Chain A
Amino acid sequence: MKTKDKFLVRGAALASIVSAFAIIASVLILMGDIVAGGAGHVTWEFLTGEPTQGMTAGGVFPAIFGTFMLVLIMSIGGIPVGTITAVYLAEYASQGSRLARLIRFAVTSLAGVPAIVFGLFGLGFFVQFVGSGMDGVFSGGGKLVWGQPNILWASLTMALLTLPVVIVSVEEAIKAVPRELREASLALGATKWQTIRKVVLPNAVTGIMTGGILAVSRGAGEVAPILFTGAAYFLPRLPMSLSDQFMELGYHVYIMSTQSPDVEATMGIQYATTLVLLMLTFSLNFTAIFLRYRIRKRTLS
Chain B
Amino acid sequence: MKLTPIRKRAHIADALARKVITVVAAGSFAVIILVFAFVFREALPFFFPADPAPAAGIAADGAQESYGEVQESYGSDPSVAPGASETGLEMSIAGEDVGVTDLMRTRWEPVSQEPKFGLLPLIIGSFKVSLIAVLLAAPLAIFAALYTSIIAPRWAKEIMKPTIEILAGFPSVVIGFFALITLATFFQDLFGFEYRLNAFIGGAALALAVLPIIYTLTEDALSTVPKSFTEASLALGASRWQTALFVVLPAATPGVYASVLLGIGRAFGETMIVLMATGNAALLSPDLFVPVRTMSATIGAEMAEVVFGDTHYNILFLIGAILFLFTFSLNAFAEFVVRKQLMKKFGGGQ
Q: Which A residues contact B (CB, under 8 angstroms)?
A: 5, 8-9, 12-13, 15-20, 22-24, 26-27, 30-31, 33-34, 37, 81-82, 84-85, 87-89, 92-93, 99, 102-103, 106-110, 112-121, 123-125, 128-129, 132, 141, 144, 147, 160, 163, 167, 189-194, 196-197, 217, 220-224, 227-228, 250-251, 253-254, 257-258, 267, 270-271, 274, 277-278, 281-282, 285, 289
* Bound Cα distance from A245 to B142, whole angstroms: 43
Q: Mind listing 20 A-B residue pairs with CB under 8 Å?
A: A18-B143, A19-B139, A20-B160, A27-B166, A81-B28, A112-B331, A113-B324, A114-B270, A114-B296, A116-B320, A124-B38, A124-B39, A129-B38, A160-B31, A217-B169, A220-B171, A221-B173, A254-B275, A258-B180, A270-B181
Q: Check A15–B143 contact: CB distance below 8 A.
A: yes
Residues in B whose Cβ lies below 8 Å from that of A87:
21
* Bound Cα distance from A205 to B244, whole angstroms: 40
Q: Is B100 an interface residue (CB 8 A)?
A: no
Residue from A109, A123, A222 in contact with B171 in the complex, judged by beta carbons closer than 8 Å: A222
Q: Check A144–B18 contact: CB distance below 8 A.
A: no
* Bound Cα distance from A125 to B156, whole angstroms: 48
Which of A160, A193, A257 has the largest number of chain B CB atoms within 10 A?
Answer: A193
Given contacts A12-B146, A23-B167, 5 further A-B contacts (CB under 8 A): A9-B245, A120-B42, A125-B35, A221-B169, A253-B177
Q: Is B241 an interface residue (CB 8 A)?
A: yes
* Bound Cα distance from A289 to B161, whole angstroms: 12
Q: Check A270–B177 contact: CB distance below 8 A.
A: yes
Instruction: Tell me the nearest residue of chain B to A285, going by C-beta.
Output: B169
The smallest beta-carbon distance between A144 and chain B, in angstroms, is 6
Q: Is B208 an interface residue (CB 8 A)?
A: yes
Q: Check B328–A277 contact: CB distance below 8 A.
A: no
* Bound Cα distance from A194 to B268, whole angstroms: 46
Given A85-B24, A106-B32, check contact A224 B208 (CB 8 Å): no
Residues in B whose Cβ lies below 8 Å from that of A196:
17
Q: Check A27–B163 contact: CB distance below 8 A.
A: yes
Residues in A whose Cβ lies below 8 Å from that of B144:
16, 19-20, 22-23
Residues in B whose Cβ lies below 8 Å from that of A277:
171, 173-174
Contact with A along B156-192 (1 / 0, CB 8 A): 1001100111110111111111101110000000000
* Bound Cα distance from A228 to B298, whole angstroms: 13
Residues in B whose Cβ lies below 8 Å from that of A110:
32, 35
Instruction: Tell me the nearest residue of chain A to B10, going by C-beta.
Output: A191
Q: Check A114–B173 contact: CB distance below 8 A.
A: no
Instruction: Tell me the nearest residue of chain B to A121, going by C-beta.
Output: B35
Q: Check A16–B146 contact: CB distance below 8 A.
A: yes
Q: Check A12–B27 contact: CB distance below 8 A.
A: no
Q: Is B33 an interface residue (CB 8 A)?
A: yes
* Bound Cα distance from A250 to B327, whole angstroms: 24
The smallest beta-carbon distance between A294 and chain B, in angstroms, is 16
Instruction: Tell me the nearest residue of chain B to A1, going by C-beta.
Output: B242
The smallest beta-carbon distance between A208 and chain B, in angstroms, is 15
Residues in B whose Cβ lies below 8 Å from that of A116:
269, 271, 296, 299-300, 320, 323
Residues in A whose Cβ lies below 8 Å from that of B299:
116, 119-120
Instruction: Tell me the nearest residue of chain B to A227, going by C-beta.
Output: B300
* Bound Cα distance from A24 to B17, whole angstroms: 49
Q: Check B303–A123 contact: CB distance below 8 A.
A: yes
Residues in A whose Cβ lies below 8 Å from that of B316:
120
Residue from A20, A84, A115, A223 in contact with B147 in the complex, judged by beta carbons closer than 8 Å: A20
Q: Is B109 an interface residue (CB 8 A)?
A: no
Q: Check B175–A85 contact: CB distance below 8 A.
A: no
Residue from A30, A89, A147, A189 in contact with B178 in the complex, judged by beta carbons closer than 8 Å: A30
Q: Check B71–A34 contact: CB distance below 8 A.
A: no
Q: Is B5 an interface residue (CB 8 A)?
A: no
Q: Is B276 an interface residue (CB 8 A)?
A: yes
* Bound Cα distance from A193 to B20, whole angstroms: 11
The smallest beta-carbon distance between B318 and chain A, in angstroms, is 10
* Bound Cα distance from A285 to B140, whole angstroms: 24
Given A108-B335, A113-B328, A192-B18, check contact A282 B169 (CB 8 Å): yes
The smallest beta-carbon distance between A161 and chain B, in angstroms, is 10
The smallest beta-carbon distance between A195 and chain B, in angstroms, is 9
* Bound Cα distance from A93 to B39, whole angstroms: 30
Q: Check B35–A128 contact: CB distance below 8 A.
A: no
Q: Check B317–A278 contact: CB distance below 8 A.
A: no
Instruction: Tell me the nearest residue of chain B to A112, going by C-beta.
Output: B331
Residue from B7, B22, B241 in contact with A88 in the complex, judged by beta carbons closer than 8 Å: B22
Residue from B143, B170, B275, B303 in contact with A16 in the complex, judged by beta carbons closer than 8 Å: B143
Which of B28, B140, B182, B303 has the largest number of chain A CB atoms within 10 A?
Answer: B28
Q: Is B68 an interface residue (CB 8 A)?
A: yes
Instruction: Tell me the nearest residue of chain B to A263, going by C-beta.
Output: B181
* Bound Cα distance from A74 to B181, whole angstroms: 31
Instruction: Tell me the nearest residue of chain A to B239, going by C-beta.
Output: A9
Residues in B whose Cβ lies below 8 Å from that of A194:
10, 13-14
Q: Check B39–A103 contact: CB distance below 8 A.
A: no
